[in-house]
Amino acid sequence: MLKLVNVSKYYYSKGVVTSGFTRVNLEMHRGEFIAITGESGSGKSTLLNVISGLDSYEDGEMYIFGQETSGYTETDFENYRKRYIANIFQNFNLVNSYTVYQNVELALVMNGRKRREYRKKIMEVLKQVGLYKFRNARASRLSGGQKQRVAIARALVKDTPVIVADEPTGNLDSQSAENVWELLSSVAKDRLVVVVTHNFEQAEPYITRKITMHDGQVIEDVEVKKPEEIPDEEESGVIHTGRLRFFQKLRLGIRNTFNIVPKFLLLLFIFMFITAAVSIFYSSTLKNNFVEDTSGYNWYFDDADVARIVIQKKDRSVITEDDFRAIAAVEGVGRIVKEDILIDRSVYIWSEDLGVNGTIVSVSEFEGQPDIGRLPEQADEILVLLPKNHYLADNGQYERMLQGTFSLELPFGKASSPQRSVTVTGVVLSDLDDWKGQIYVTDELMKQVSGAIGDSFSTVSVEANGHIMQSSDWDMNNSVMPVDWIESGTALVSDEWNSYYKNYRARGKTFTVTIKNLYYTDELTLTIKDVYTYRNFKNKTGGLDDWYRGAIFVNTDDYLSLFDKGYYQSSVYMSDYSYKDSVMTALDDMGYKTLHVNSNTYSYGGNWAKLERLITTGMGAMLMITLFLVSYFIIRLIMRSRNTYFSTVRILGGTASECRSLIVIELVAVLNLAYAALLGVLYAAEKEYFSSYITDTILRYLTFRDYIILYLVMLAVCLWIALRYSRQLFRGSAMNTLKAV
């Protein structure tokens, strides 16, 4: 059935031709159990590999069942191996991480056999070789003799007419070797078994024929014992030259993923490291760019928060409560600060040794209870919110704020804004990361604040009996001062005003205050109740400082009627920056002039910042590439450790593309797990099971698209590794791959 006619095999390496064997003529039949012996280097293995179809031959003809093979292509030889040959090796070539059963199964799976067809058969064969008990043991735990019996079982289940074995007992003790010989001879009953050995004495009792080689030539070929006569035909019936099936491929790939636990953990670690490192780095770069884009200064607005939009009515009319409600209903609008100016001007309150800077906020916006003390009720009471790193909060001194009085100066009125005394009724400690605190005031104080703001943005002029006077910007002359101790409709003025009126007498006469600002003009006529002189100023004003001389003292209500007419400029804070365009458009449609403060800032860095960004982006890209290259090499190193496995797969009939698929499945399975871990962590952070700066940044700045791209890049790395590795694996002949291991 197997016939060699003048077959020669040469090796070409580095221009030198060596002969493996020359002009071999042999005819072998079913039922024969042949031992090939000879000294080392005589060509025994070479001959066996040619018979196995693992190596090519250069000269002569080899026939299998009468069919000539010299014209065979690589694929033809693949099928030849699948169909006719089962190999047994000196070093077993088992997959150590597989169980006995899985090792035997591998040979069948690689030939495209179906599980339900082969399961019973494997069990039978395992019984035959005496390993049924060990079917679920890992191959690595078996003795050498047991391993070789697994290899024989693997050869047997293939159901091929030829079994070849190269020094199958070379690594075994004599007892195990006996068992193997016995097993092989029983197998040879209806097949051709060819065994290479240099220990002929051991083989002699079992074999039917002895072939001796010397220097690449057959020098002896004798019958030791008459073999059983078996017709030399190829069996009809199913001939298995199938390919690895899709689901089997998947099953094997997944099995390989988890089989070697340290390898799996190392791969998982690497994939998790890359996915985490890339997402952290990329999101923080996006964040830095965003922060840089959106930070900067503006001469008029202290708070250049990206969410802030300053609005005025296009017709410069007052913004009513109805208007505010309509704005609040726009999607994406978060907070509204009606008195916009309050955001950008902080006030300072101080007592003898304590001081706090803060923004004024209406106490009606405060929710909850203060940490100490109570909410303010009277006009001169305030509640103070301290950021966590304010020195008073830090060293626990804030409790002292509840005692004593503080001076409060409103920075809004030009010169007219008087200091007032306030008491702190409560303190709130906040997580806010800011240097400024917040000063919560009652509606009453808020009104006066609004008046002072109106005052500071208005031009005030006074007309007294034909004399026109402007209020001064740098002292109190002709500034209107609100006080409580003068009746509404009347005023206290300087005695210099006497000269403007007949009889040098201003008392009882009237004058008109006219104010003008961006939004409106108004005037008020008042009667002069009294005049103060240089000498009696303190007496008549209840002890006011000399600084206030020259002012026009009026009742607070009159003052507010001039300067507090409602809100003309407010700030709308978006709940998220992404609403910017839609909110701006909606406000515009509703009749507001809008200013996105942040878009009108001067960058701190300018061109220098652009260069810096270019450099960091470049460095980041290099870092990423390095990361990918390093991980590529590590993964390749890990895959290299699987050379034995893949050359075994190859010897069992696996093709390059099948090996590639197995590697891809193995890598992608780990990738998916690593990716699932990343998404799981992010999901937990999103659901607020925990929180960290890193996950917050990733969640905020990475988009769906970024996750997809990251996954695809990683997938590409896996495919690339699989492609290169399998190519390298299949560069040489199957035999060379095996030898290289």
In the complex with Mg ion, which residue's Cβ is closer, 51 or 572?
51
Touching ligand ADP, residues 15-34 (CB under 6 A) = 18, 20
Q: Please check whether residue 453 is in contact with residue 414, taking contact to mean a CB–CB distance below 8 angstroms.
A: no
Residue 41 interaction partner, one of ligand ADP, Mg ion, none, beta carbon < 5-8 Å per kind = ligand ADP
Q: Give min distance, CB of 196 to Mg ion, in A.
A: 6
CA distances from 656 to 182, 660, 662, 669, 676 (A): 36, 6, 10, 20, 30
Residue 13 interaction partner, one of Mg ion, ligand ADP, none, beta carbon < 5-8 Å per kind = ligand ADP
In the complex with ligand ADP, which residue's Cβ is closer, 38 or 296?
38
CA 386-387-393 angle, to 5 degrees, is: 65
Q: Give min distance, CB of 148 to Mg ion, in A.
A: 16
In the complex with Mg ion, which residue's Cβ is closer, 198 or 400?
198
Q: Give min distance, CB of 196 to ligand ADP, in A.
A: 7
In the complex with Mg ion, which residue's Cβ is closer, 198 or 345?
198
CA 67-72-77 angle, to 5 degrees, is: 95
In the complex with ligand ADP, which residue's Cβ is closer, 38 or 451?
38
In the complex with ligand ADP, which residue's Cβ is closer, 55 or 303?
55
Q: Give min distance, CB of 205 to Mg ion, in A.
A: 23
Q: Give min distance, CB of 24 to ligand ADP, in A.
A: 12
Which of 392, 549, 432, 402 minimizes the C-alpha distance to 481? 549
Q: Please check whether residue 705 is in contact with residue 273, taking contact to mean a CB–CB distance below 8 angstroms.
A: no
H-assigned helices in 399-499? 443-456
The yes or no reply on residue 606 touching ligand ADP (CB under 6 A) is no
CB atoms closer than 10 angstroms to residue 30? 21
Stretch that binds ligand ADP, among 42-50, 369-377, 403-411, 591-599 (CB under 6 A): 42-50
Intra-chain end-to-end CA distance of the chain, in Å = 33
Local structure of 319: helix, strand or coil: strand
Q: Give min distance, CB of 18 to ligand ADP, in A.
A: 5
The yes or no reply on residue 169 touching Mg ion (CB under 5 A) is no
CA distances from 224 to 22, 24, 35, 206, 389 (A): 25, 20, 10, 9, 98
The yes or no reply on residue 175 touching ligand ADP (CB under 6 A) is no
- Contacts with ligand ADP: how many residues (CB under 6 A)? 12
Q: Which long-range contacts (CB under 8 A, 24 or more apart) does 691-700 make?
A: 694/280, 697/280, 697/283, 697/284, 697/287, 698/279, 698/280, 698/283, 700/283, 700/287
Touching ligand ADP, residues 407-436 (CB under 6 A) = none
Residue 20 interaction partner, one of Mg ion, ligand ADP, none, beta carbon < 5-8 Å per kind = ligand ADP
The yes or no reply on residue 43 touching ligand ADP (CB under 6 A) is yes
In the complex with Mg ion, which residue's Cβ is closer, 45 or 97?
45
CB atoms closer than 10 angstroms to residue 694? 15
In the complex with Mg ion, which residue's Cβ is closer, 45 or 494?
45
CB atoms closer than 10 angstroms to residue 27? 13
**DSSP class of 133:** G
Binding ligand ADP (rule: CB under 6 A), the pick from 22, 42, 479, 601 is 42
Binding ligand ADP (rule: CB under 6 A), the pick from 46, 257, 598, 631 is 46
In the complex with Mg ion, which residue's Cβ is closer, 18 or 533?
18
Q: Give min distance, CB of 5 to ligand ADP, in A.
A: 20
What does the alpha-carbon distance between residue 461 and residue 671 come to, in Å, rounded to a whole number?
Answer: 77
Binding ligand ADP (rule: CB under 6 A), the pick from 14, 15, 17, 40 is 40
What does the alpha-carbon distance between residue 643 and residue 632 come to, in Å, rounded to a whole number?
Answer: 17
Stretch that binds ligand ADP, among 11-19, 507-515, 564-572, 672-680 (CB under 6 A): 11-19
Here the tokens at position 672 are: 């998916």
**E strands in 352-418:** 355-362, 372-373, 381-387, 405-409
Binding ligand ADP (rule: CB under 6 A), the pick from 30, 32, 35, 44 is 44
**DSSP class of 315:** T
CA 348-353-357 angle, to 5 degrees, is: 20
Q: Give min distance, CB of 194 to ligand ADP, in A.
A: 13
Stretch that binds ligand ADP, among 43-51, 495-503, 580-588, 598-606 (CB under 6 A): 43-51
Touching Mg ion, residues 17-56 (CB under 5 A) = 45
- Contacts with Mg ion: how many residues (CB under 5 A)? 1
Q: Which long-range contacts (CB under 8 A, 24 or more apart) does 584-587 make?
A: 584/309, 586/330, 586/331, 587/309, 587/311, 587/327, 587/330
Q: Give min distance, CB of 218 to ligand ADP, in A.
A: 12
Residues at the interface with Mg ion (CB under 5 A)? 45
Residues at the interface with ligand ADP (CB under 6 A)? 11, 13, 18, 20, 38, 40-46
